[in-house]
């Protein structure tokens, strides 16, 4: 459906955010200097350096949080979160045991409700926390591209649906640098903090002990990616996964909260519409596979991002029909926005492949327009909460 206001909001939001994130602001005692910096592939290897947010970053954070927070009936789960907040606000005896959400998310709802705040403030605060950690997770020079691909690849629209898990995802992206640094204590603390918003994050904790430096082999990942299509939608996998999960759910209490996927049949094969968007994303993954070797050779710190994304892509190809697996695989697939940003930045510097870089950015913008038209994750029509009266 074509909704002009939705297109205006989402396009202007994306362009404004990218513009402000590209600004380089320096404030000294004597002057204020503002200039626009270009994407510089030489800064890709600064993943381990802290991204010190400037005034333009905070402006972008406030803007995106405002759009997310003050939306009305946008997102598949928007109504459910709104109603839960209002129950907490109206029922003074309502406690943590009376609901299903994690402690951190509940406490934000509880505090805002008890202070007399509106549900829009709750959505605003949750969005602010999520995007703050995403902004801190990548170098400032790469951030405009990462945010661009988070928007154009539907993750922004998904964030307005799975809002609790998106907080955990943002914290997870930030925690990856501590895997590279081999700082177990900080990594575990971040994972524990993320679990206060979505318990599924605990299943990525073992990633710290995986030797990613030994796992990259371009030929292996290309072959495995292509072979993964053969195993898609194999009936035997449905039975194996169901029985395996049910077995572990009996042994590990934390898994029991996901049994509802089996109770209502959501674990079974879902119909995937193999359209141009799906084919485009598969082609982009192949491009990433082909150029990843030269990037990793130049920027070894990026290896973990590529390995995790390739793993997520293979899992998706084999198990896209399982909603439960998608719930966990999103932690890997979200890395698409980072690795494709690295590839685009890297190709931009090479005159021979600059056209590929431009082509990817352009095609993703067309995909962005398409997802708005198709109301991805119920993103359209967009309306502000104060417009409903």
Which tokens is 177 given?
Answer: 């640098």
CA-CA distance, 70 to 68, in Å (whole number)? 6
Please, are residues 135 and 57 in contact by the beta-carbon 8 Å criterion? yes
Query: Considering only 88-97, 256-265, 278-287, 371-380, which range has the smallest mean pLDDT?
Result: 256-265
- Closest CA relative to residue 254, chosen from 208, 210, 195, 312: 195
Spell out the long-range contacts of 214-223 with Cβ–Cβ below 8 A and sequence spacing 24 or more.
215/303, 215/307, 216/292, 216/296, 216/303, 216/306, 216/307, 218/289, 218/292, 218/293, 221/289, 221/292, 221/307, 221/310, 222/286, 222/289, 222/290
Better pLDDT: 28 or 318: 318
Over the stretch 316-330, which tens digit does the pLDDT of each residue have? 998 877 777 888 899
CB neighbour list of residue 344: distance below 8 Å, 6 or more residues apart: 39, 145, 357, 360, 361
State residue 162 phi and psi, 5-degree precision.
-90, 65
Peptide bond into 191 cis (omega under 30): no
Three-state secondary structure of 215-252: CCCHHHHHHHHHHHCCCCCCHHHHHHHHHHHHHHHHHC
Better pLDDT: 54 or 309: 309
- Closest CA relative to residue 356, chosen from 366, 370, 369, 346: 346
Over the stretch 196-224, which tens digit does the pLDDT of each residue have? 999 999 989 999 999 988 889 999 999 99
Confidence of residue 32 (pLDDT cuts 50, 70, 90): very low
pLDDT of residue 81: 95
Residue 347 has pLDDT above 50, yes or no: yes
CA-CA distance, 79 to 67, in Å (whole number)? 17
Domain spans of the chain, in order of start:
4-233+269-383
Q: Which residues pair with 71 in a beta bridge?
A: 384
CA-CA distance, 389 to 387, in Å (whole number)? 6
How many CA atoms does the CB half-sphere of 328 hold within 13 Å?
15
| E strand or H helix that includes residue 34 | strand 32-36
Which tokens is 304 given?
Answer: 């973990």
Over the stretch 242-269, which tens digit does the pLDDT of each residue have? 677 666 666 666 666 665 555 555 445 4
Which tokens is 232 given?
Answer: 């898609």
Residue 119 has pLDDT above 60, yes or no: yes
Q: Which residues pair with 24 in a beta bridge?
A: 35
pLDDT of residue 253: 61
Over the stretch 152-187, which tens digit does the pLDDT of each residue have? 999 999 999 999 999 999 999 999 999 999 999 999
Q: Distances from the Cα of 226 to the Cαs of 145, 223, 310, in angstroms?
A: 27, 5, 11
Question: Is the CA virtual torsion 314, 378, 83, 80 positive or negative?
Answer: negative
**Would you give the end-to-end CA distance of the chain in angstroms?**
23
| E strand or H helix that includes residue 27 | strand 23-27
pTM here is 0.89
Burial of 230 (0-12, 13-18, 19+ CB in 10 A): exposed
Q: Give the rounded percent of residues in the chain with a pLDDT score beyond 90.
A: 63
DSSP characters for 285-304? HHHHHHHHHHHHHH-GGGHH
Q: Give the rounded percent of residues in the chain with a pLDDT score beyond 70.
A: 82
Please, are residues 119 and 82 in contact by the beta-carbon 8 Å criterion? yes
DSSP characters for 335-357? THHHHHHHHHHHHHT-TTTHHHH
Residue 42 has pLDDT above 70, yes or no: no
pLDDT of residue 335: 97
Better pLDDT: 89 or 326: 89
pLDDT of residue 28: 43
Place of tokens 């697996």: 325
pLDDT of residue 269: 46
Q: What is the mean pLDDT of residues 14-33?
A: 70
Residue 237 has pLDDT above 80, yes or no: no
Which tokens is 317 given?
Answer: 């190809």
């Amino acid at each position: 459906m074509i909704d002009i206001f939705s297109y205006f909001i989402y396009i202007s939001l994306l362009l404004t955010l990218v513009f402000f994130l590209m600004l380089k602001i320096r404030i000294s005692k004597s002057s204020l200097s503002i200039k626009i910096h270009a994407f510089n592939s030489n800064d890709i290897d600064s993943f381990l350096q802290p991204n010190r947010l400037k005034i333009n970053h905070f402006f972008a954070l406030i803007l995106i949080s405002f759009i997310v927070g003050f939306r009305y009936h946008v997102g598949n789960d928007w109504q459910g979160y709104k109603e839960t907040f209002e129950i907490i606000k109206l029922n003074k005896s309502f406690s943590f045991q009376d609901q299903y959400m994690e402690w951190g998310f509940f406490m934000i709802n509880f505090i805002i409700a008890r202070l007399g705040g509106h549900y829009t403030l709750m959505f605003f605060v949750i969005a602010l926390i999520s995007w703050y950690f995403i902004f801190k997770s990548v170098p400032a020079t790469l951030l405009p591209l990462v945010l661009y691909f988070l928007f154009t690849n539907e993750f922004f629209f998904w964030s307005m649906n799975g809002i609790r898990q998106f907080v955990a995802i943002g914290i997870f992206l930030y925690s990856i640098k501590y895997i590279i640094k081999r700082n177990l204590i900080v990594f575990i603390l971040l994972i524990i903090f993320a679990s206060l918003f979505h318990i599924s994050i605990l299943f990525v904790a073992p990633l710290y002990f995986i030797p990613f430096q030994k796992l990259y082999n371009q030929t292996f990942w290309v072959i495995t990616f292509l072979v993964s299509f053969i195993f898609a939608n194999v009936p035997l996998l449905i039975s194996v996964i169901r029985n395996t999960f049910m077995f572990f759910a009996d042994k590990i209490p934390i898994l029991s909260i996901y049994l509802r996927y089996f109770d209502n049949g959501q674990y079974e094969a879902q119909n995937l519409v193999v359209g141009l968007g799906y084919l485009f994303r598969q082609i982009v993954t192949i491009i990433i596979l082909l150029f990843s070797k030269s990037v990793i050779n130049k920027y070894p710190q990026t290896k973990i991002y590529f390995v995790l994304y390739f793993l997520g892509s293979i899992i998706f190809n084999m198990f896209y029909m399982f909603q439960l697996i998608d719930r966990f695989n999103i932690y890997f697939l979200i890395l698409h926005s980072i690795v494709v940003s690295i590839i685009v930045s890297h190709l931009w510097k090479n005159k021979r492949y600059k056209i590929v870089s431009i082509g990817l950015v352009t095609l993703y913008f067309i995909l962005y327009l398409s997802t708005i038209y198709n109301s991805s994750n119920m993103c359209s029509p967009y309306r502000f909460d104060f417009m409903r009266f």
